[in-house]
A and B are shown apart, each in its own frame.
Chain A
Amino acid sequence: MKNILRVESLTKRFGGLVAVNDLSFEMEARSIHSLIGPNGSGKTTTINMINGTFPPTGGRIYFGETDITGMQTHKISTLGIARTFQNIKLFSTMTVEENLKVGGHSRLAPHGVVSYLLNPVEARKEENKLQVASEEIIAMLRLEDIAKSVVASLPYGKLKIVELARALMSRPQLLLLDEPAAGLNPSERAEFIDVLLKVFESGIDLFLIEHNMDVVMNISDKITVINFGSKIAEGDSASIQNDPEVIKAYLGEKYIMI
């Protein structure tokens, strides 16, 4: 089976604190892989290293065959890894459509400032490409009614979908989702799961961190569980639900059924 993402003995220390400790896992191509663990177990730190927000202290990260360890975020993004954030990071003074166009900037509009100014025809073409691509994704995620709205005026649930839409503009192979369902109510969560599955079916592999078990257990092909920065279990949802180590980490020792 081909791997899209391989992490080898990944370690991150912040001063004396070991946030991620010798973590290794492999994510298969065409799969939905979840990383779960209690608060402070190092999940977001792991995503931040994969996406290049900061370099790991030790270990290596491979995207397909490419070693992306310590690469800059924008380069990793152009290779085909997009992400969303736990606390939504959108361009709040801009409209939904403009946000999406920034998302497609590097893939669809690579011309520099000077060539942009000197060649209005090419500039027009680039803008049209961005327009078409953003309309496609807006239609796919059913955002038509808010496409021209300024992001700051939208409710939280919509912002989550807009951020996802922006990430899709770079047409990634792998999408990292940091707590995509956090803060959504059950009906919004169900809607969001549908959207995620649609994205997956369009050919994009998903790697997610999530706290809501209904989301994780329903859509994951494989789950990696970490606690205090180390891997404690890995497998499909059924085996994870019955794993004593996992129950201990989440609920406490006394809940283990023997």
Chain B
Amino acid sequence: MFSRKHTRKIYAVLIIAALAFPLISNNTYYITMLCLAFIYMIVAFGLNFITGMTGQVNLGTAGIFCIGAYTSALLTTKTFISPWLALLVVILFGFVIGIALGYPSLRLKGVYLSLTTIAFGEIVRQLVNNMTDFTGGAHGVRAIPPYCLFGFELNTKLRLYYFLLAVTIMFGLIAYRIIYSKWGRVFTAIRDNIDAVDTCGISSSKVKIIAFTLAAVFAAIAGGLYAHYSGYINPSTFTLNLSVSFVVMVMVGGSGTVLGSVLGAVLVSILPEMLRFLGNYYQIVFYILVFICTILIPNGIVNVFLERQKTKALPEKN
């Protein structure tokens, strides 16, 4: 069992391992996979606020991720502005989408909210797919320029790797601070008992919108990073399948924790690759694992090991 102090050590070990990995292995394939895992982690950190903590299902994350990616890609390829400037626009878009998606969640619950978010994701993808003149349609956007940092173009795998690692650590820190704060408590309180949140003098509507906005900003930024990481994007990436993968990362990894999102993102992006030796069976094995995890450990893998101070129930009087 681990307490919070132990998890800090685990983070330190993980960060050192991630820093050292390219020095030990020069397998560029794994480095590329890890880059993608880092980007997914940022999305998972954000989604954790809504789905992991506040308990609102969001199956439209791929839509937000897509808007982030296309915003940055189109701005940098059509207007030739710096990717950094585009990032500001991406953050702004994330903010607006978060508020816009948060509002339906005030009225809709459960299945209905899931359907709304699925519809949102598909609307975005269909629009991108069909607005051929503007977005390039199914051909996607090519030759997206890389980020520049201190005069270096982040155009090699190794530079990208360290850049994405740094950004991910930054967002992990932000997520960590929010989770273990009054905000983390209020997010969980909404999942546990929403009526009681309002009687505590807290507007549950406002808190839900905050959770959605945080998640959308995280996902949009990750989308922007993705566009410049891969240099080429097309609509077939941003399917419902991707949205489901994000939920899997949060819930199988461990809801309500940063470590869970890290583990989940690594599992979802790398495990299918590891299982490739199974040939045609690798996807089915992967989803059987998801199935088993969901039934046996609904709070996710990390929470099995995390110590929650639980004293035994006091004996009933009489």
> Which of B177, B178, B313, B316 lies at the interface centre, i.e. has the most chain A CB atoms within 10 A of its CB?
B313
Partner of B204 from A74, A78, A95, A185 at Cβ < 8 Å: A74
The reply to whether A105 and B177 contact each other, CB–CB distance below 8 Å, is no
The reply to whether A101 and B317 contact each other, CB–CB distance below 8 Å, is no
Residues of A within 8 A of B183 (CB): 113, 116
Residues of B within 8 A of A158 (CB): 314
Other A-B pairs beyond A127-B182, A153-B311, 17, CB < 8 Å: A51-B199, A74-B204, A77-B201, A85-B195, A93-B192, A94-B189, A102-B182, A102-B185, A102-B189, A102-B197, A105-B201, A106-B202, A107-B201, A116-B182, A146-B314, A169-B200, A185-B317
The reply to whether A73 and B188 contact each other, CB–CB distance below 8 Å, is no
> Between A and B, how many residue pairs show CB distances below 8 Å?
116
Residues of A within 8 A of B198 (CB): 72-74, 77
Partner of A91 from B193, B201, B210, B316 at Cβ < 8 Å: B193
The reply to whether A113 and B310 contact each other, CB–CB distance below 8 Å, is no
The reply to whether A77 and B199 contact each other, CB–CB distance below 8 Å, is yes
The reply to whether B310 and A153 contact each other, CB–CB distance below 8 Å, is yes
Q: Is A155 an interface residue (CB 8 A)?
A: yes
Closest 8 CB pairs of A and B: A106-B201, A77-B201, A91-B192, A73-B198, A89-B196, A78-B201, A149-B311, A74-B203
The reply to whether B210 and A113 contact each other, CB–CB distance below 8 Å, is yes
Q: Is B309 an interface residue (CB 8 A)?
A: yes
Expressed in whole angstroms, the minimum distance between the Cβ of B54 and any Cβ of chain A is 12
17 contacts between A and B (CB under 8 A): A73-B198, A74-B200, A74-B204, A89-B195, A89-B199, A94-B185, A101-B182, A102-B202, A105-B182, A105-B186, A106-B201, A109-B182, A117-B177, A146-B311, A154-B313, A155-B317, A158-B314
Residues of B within 8 A of A170 (CB): 200-201
The reply to whether A91 and B196 contact each other, CB–CB distance below 8 Å, is yes
Residues of A within 8 A of B317 (CB): 155, 157, 185, 187-188
B-contacting residues, A65-101, CB 8 Å:
72-74, 77-78, 82-83, 85, 89-95, 98, 101
A78 vs B197: C-alpha distance when bound (angstroms):
12
Give the nearest-CB partner of B198 in chain A. A73
Interface string of B152-183 (1 = CB under 8 A from A): 00000000000000000000001001100111
The reply to whether B181 and A77 contact each other, CB–CB distance below 8 Å, is no
A82 vs B196: C-alpha distance when bound (angstroms):
10
> Which of B188, B189, B197 lies at the interface centre, i.e. has the most chain A CB atoms within 10 A of its CB?
B189
Residues of A within 8 A of B109 (CB): none
B-contacting residues, A1-50, CB 8 Å:
none
Q: Is B214 an interface residue (CB 8 A)?
A: yes
